[in-house]
């Protein structure tokens, strides 16, 4: 394509709310053969709602007070779902976010953790049989957060998200462009598979840590693929930067925008398809 065509394509993109934030984004976009999608907030709404709380040795209110106060410091959709139900007051110091794993902090003098089940184990917490059951049944339906302190898991939160209404149509349209579509998520395999089934994605890579997302993209590249990664940026900046084309969607974070080549102003997947088709038109591949 001529520089003029690229300029026109870039201008048309801006009108549509597709911002070119990295060099050669349109040239890269046209060469993509694989689109990797983050699940939470990208394929799904990312507006999670608390569906269930199981407790062990403490009252439900106490779990919501302590863990709610801690999660109020996190931007993650699962954290927002829990923090929405916080009750009472608690003093927090030393808050720390462990990307793609969970959070820790001191709440009213207790060293509290909240995160994916494996994160609870890494904190050395004992999980009772009753809470282990709550993890298993929670994971059958959605995302699970295990929280506790003093060497014990004390609460299990089950959190549910909904698939965005346009996701299935957009994925069908990407398949029409002969693109492979992969769902890549830190969430558990069963919720990932049910989202994939609902939207028509046939490859799922679940339970990965943020650095594992980078590895997965590098693996696809090593196998000769040109990879676009689409994410809302919560925990995904490194994967966006590694991909041949990083696409940050919607109300994502600044870190995501800086790591990406394209930034889509609207939430959801619709503009991913628009952007890839625009790049092909701009580069003269389709008309
Ligand atoms: P995704 O790939 O679905 O966007 P992330 O990599 O952001 O997921 O997070 C993976 C998992 O880590 C979440 O499903 C959740 O169990 C856990 N997690 C991440 N952040 C938090 C948090 N602030 N509080 C509790 N759990 C968290
Ligand atoms: Mg995410």
ipTM score for this prediction: 0.97
**pLDDT at residue 138, as a whole number:** 95
* Nearest ligand, measured from the Cα of 186: 1
Determine the residue of 51, 78, 82 to mutate for testing ligand 1's pocket, defined as the one with the most ligand atoms within 8 A of the Cβ atom: 78
Q: Separation of 15 CA from ligand 1 center, angstroms? A: 34
Counting atoms of ligand 1 from 1, which one is nearest the CA of 74?
23
**Considering only CA atoms, which residue is closest to atom 18 of ligand 1?**
102
For residue range 230-258, list pLDDT tens digits in order.
988 667 888 999 999 999 987 656 777 77
Any residues with CB less than 8 A from the CB of 31 and at least 6 apart, and which? 226, 244
42 lines ligand 1 (CB under 6 A): no
Known catalytic residues are 38
CATH 3.40.50.1000 residue spans of the chain:
3-45+163-282
**pLDDT at residue 287, as a whole number:** 44
**pLDDT, mean over the chain:** 91
What Å distances lie between residue 248 and 30, 102, 197, 219, 262, CA to CA? 17, 22, 24, 21, 6
115 lines ligand 1 (CB under 6 A): yes
Higher-pLDDT residue of 270, 63: 63
User: 49-160: which CATH topology?
Assistant: Calcium-transporting ATPase, cytoplasmic domain N (3.40.1110)
Of 78, 74, 65, 54, which is closest to residue 127 (Cα–Cα)? 54
Number of alpha carbons in the 13 Å side-chain half-sphere of residue 237: 11
Counting atoms of ligand 1 from 1, which one is nearest the CA of 117?
16
- State how far the Cα of 16 lies from the Cα of 4, in Å rounded to an integer: 18
104 lines ligand 1 (CB under 6 A): no
The SS3 assignment for 220 reads helix
Whether this prediction's pTM lies above 0.80 is answered by yes
Which of the residue ranges 196-200, 208-212, 254-258 has the most confident prediction, judged by mean pLDDT?
A: 196-200
- State how far the Cα of 127 lies from the Cα of 117, in Å rounded to an integer: 9
How large is the angle between the packed helices 189-199 and 167-176, nearest 10 degrees? Answer: 70
- State how far the Cα of 115 lies from the Cα of 79, in Å rounded to an integer: 9
Any residues with CB less than 8 A from the CB of 276 and at least 6 apart, and which? 29, 32, 35, 174, 177, 179, 228
* Nearest ligand, measured from the Cα of 183: 1
CATH 3.40.1110.10 residue spans of the chain:
49-160
For residue range 163-193, list pLDDT tens digits in order.
999 999 999 999 999 999 999 999 999 999 9
102 lines ligand 1 (CB under 6 A): yes
Average pLDDT over residues 268-277: 90
**Quick check: 144 and 159 in contact, CB under 8 A?**
yes
**pLDDT at residue 118, as a whole number:** 95
Average pLDDT over residues 84-91: 93
Of 119, 107, 120, 130, which is closest to residue 151 (Cα–Cα)? 120
Q: Separation of 128 CA from ligand 2 center, angstroms? A: 29
Write the CATH number of the domain with boundaries 3-45+163-282: 3.40.50.1000
100 lines ligand 1 (CB under 6 A): yes
């Amino acid at each position: 394509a001529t520089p003029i065509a690229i300029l026109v394509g870039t201008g048309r993109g801006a009108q549509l709310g597709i911002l070119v934030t990295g060099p050669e984004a349109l040239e890269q976009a046209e060469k993509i053969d694989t689109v990797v999608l983050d699940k939470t907030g990208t394929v799904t709404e990312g507006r999670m709602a608390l569906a269930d709380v199981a407790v062990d040795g403490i009252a439900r209110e106490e779990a919501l007070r302590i863990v709610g106060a801690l999660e109020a410091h996190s931007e993650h959709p699962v954290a927002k779902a829990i923090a929405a139900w916080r009750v009472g007051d608690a003093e927090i110091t030393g808050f720390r976010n462990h990307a793609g794993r969970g959070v820790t902090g001191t709440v009213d003098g207790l060293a509290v953790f909240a995160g994916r089940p494996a994160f609870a184990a890494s904190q050395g917490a004992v999980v009772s049989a009753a809470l282990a059951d709550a993890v298993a049944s929670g994971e059958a339906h959605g995302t699970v957060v295990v929280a506790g302190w003093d060497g014990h898991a004390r609460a299990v939160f089950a959190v549910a998200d909904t698939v965005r209404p346009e996701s299935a149509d957009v994925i069908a349209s990407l398949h029409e462009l002969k693109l492979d579509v992969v769902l890549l998520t830190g969430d558990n395999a069963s919720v990932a598979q049910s989202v994939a089934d609902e939207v028509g994605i046939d490859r799922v890579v679940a339970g990965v840590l943020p650095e594992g997302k980078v590895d997965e993209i590098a693996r696809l590249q090593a196998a000769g693929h040109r990879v676009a990664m689409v994410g809302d940026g919560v925990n995904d900046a490194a994967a966006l930067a590694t991909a041949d084309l990083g696409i940050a969607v919607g109300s994502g974070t600044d870190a995501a925008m800086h790591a990406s080549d394209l930034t889509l102003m609207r939430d959801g997947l619709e503009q991913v398809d628009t952007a890839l088709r625009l790049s092909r038109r701009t580069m003269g591949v389709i008309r």
